[in-house]
């Protein structure tokens, strides 16, 4: 019976893919360039980190390569483009405990086809972290990625996420909501007054090969999955705070929405977003706050 369900599921995915290719609106590279340049959204020299759902853009002529080229054309070589090349930490840590070496020269991104295509492009560099690496292209690609192993934290000082704030970069979501913003964790890992302990108490000793072929041995501090049960990225428990925070950031003029191809997308200034998160944390509101806790502190008027 299980095999039958798997076969039916495979057939349905195949049909959906064919349907999408036939009926999804075709989007050209030039269309994407115009969308990214509209309202001075991006300009040459900008630094931007992109989280994406490739299929949400439409049937892109030229596929993910065309999307990458569109960003490169808009930013030019004076700008810097970053994309995550993450993996889930649990299986990676299990591999490491068994003595298997993660090799960042060849390890594929699990963040979608666009990020994997970007990882393999000429001139793209990858930061040193066994399961939360970031890839970068452009003027500051080396500076944005070369210090990720300096801190045991995922988003600590020296990480690409920290550097995005320090260098006044931008954060963009294409066809996805704000659950993906890693700037949340920069606040937790660089600000000593963050009101909640969110990290796993145990430190993990790891060995892996970085993108330059160097054998790295270091300690990691990771987020506690038990604490994360009410976090903004949880499908049900985090739904209310995703909606509230989106509306709040929009009302503050920090979050700006736009359309990329067929995708409803958004962009924020990383420093402004981070500063507002810190302001909210001082009020007792974080990405871990439950609706009941929010109501208990009197909430916050938008």
Instruction: For residue 101, give both structure tokens.
Output: 């070496």
Phi/psi at 81 (5° precision): -110, 130
Long-range contacts of 18-25 (CB under 8 A, 24+ apart): 20/55, 20/59, 21/59, 24/55, 24/58, 24/59, 24/262, 25/58, 25/59, 25/261, 25/262
CA distances from residue 288 to 181, 195, 245, 292, 294 in whole angstroms, order as listed: 14, 10, 12, 12, 10
Query: In this predicted structure, what is the pLDDT of residue 250?
Result: 98
Helix (H) or strand (E) segment spanning residue 65:
helix 63-75
Residues 167-200 have pLDDT tens digits of 999 999 999 999 999 999 999 999 999 999 999 9
Average pLDDT, the chain: 92
Residues 90-114 have pLDDT tens digits of 888 888 888 889 999 999 999 999 9
- pLDDT (tens, 9 = 90+) of the chain, 302 residues, equals 444 434 444 455 555 455 555 667 899 999 999 999 999 999 999 999 999 999 999 999 999 999 999 999 999 999 999 999 998 888 888 888 888 899 999 999 999 999 999 999 999 999 999 999 999 999 999 999 999 999 999 999 999 999 999 999 999 999 999 999 999 999 999 999 999 999 998 899 999 999 999 999 999 999 999 999 999 999 999 999 999 999 999 999 999 999 999 999 999 999 999 999 999 999 999 999 999 999 998 877 76
Sorted by where each begins, the domain ranges of the chain are: 24-296
Phi/psi at 226 (5° precision): -70, -40
Q: Print burial letters for 170-194: b (CB count within 10 Å at least 16), e (below 16).
A: bbbbbbbbbbbbbbbbbbbbbeeee
What distance separates the 2 farthest-apart alpha carbons in the chain? 56
């Amino acid at each position: 019976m299980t095999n039958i369900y798997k076969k039916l599921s495979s057939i349905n995915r195949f049909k959906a893919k064919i349907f999408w290719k036939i009926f999804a609106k075709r989007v050209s590279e030039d269309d994407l360039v115009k969308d990214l340049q509209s309202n001075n959204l991006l300009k040459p020299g900008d630094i931007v980190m992109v989280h994406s759902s490739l299929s949400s853009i439409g049937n892109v002529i030229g596929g993910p390569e065309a999307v990458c080229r569109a960003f490169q054309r808009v930013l030019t070589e004076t700008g810097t483009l970053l994309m995550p090349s993450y993996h889930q930490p649990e299986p990676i840590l299990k591999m490491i405990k068994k003595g298997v070496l993660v090799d960042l020269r060849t390890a594929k991104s699990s963040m979608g086809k666009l990020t994997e295509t970007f990882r393999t492009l000429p001139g793209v560099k990858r930061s040193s972290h066994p399961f939360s690496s970031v890839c970068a292209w452009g003027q500051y690609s080396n500076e944005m990625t070369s210090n990720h192993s300096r801190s045991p934290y995922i988003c600590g000082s020296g990480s690409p996420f920290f550097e995005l704030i320090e260098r006044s970069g931008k954060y963009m979501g294409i066809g996805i909501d704000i659950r993906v913003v890693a700037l949340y964790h920069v606040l937790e890992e660089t600000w000593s007054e963050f009101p909640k302990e969110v990290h796993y108490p145990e430190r993990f000793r790891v060995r892996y090969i970085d993108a330059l072929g160097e054998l790295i041995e270091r300690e990691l501090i990771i987020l506690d999955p038990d604490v994360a049960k009410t976090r903004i990225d949880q499908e049900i428990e985090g739904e209310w705070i995703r909606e509230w925070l989106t509306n709040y950031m929009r009302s503050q003029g920090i979050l700006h929405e736009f359309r990329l191809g067929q995708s409803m997308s958004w962009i924020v200034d990383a420093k402004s977003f981070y500063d507002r998160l810190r302001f909210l944390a001082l009020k007792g509101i974080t990405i871990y706050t439950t609706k009941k806790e929010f109501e208990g502190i009197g909430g916050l008027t938008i």
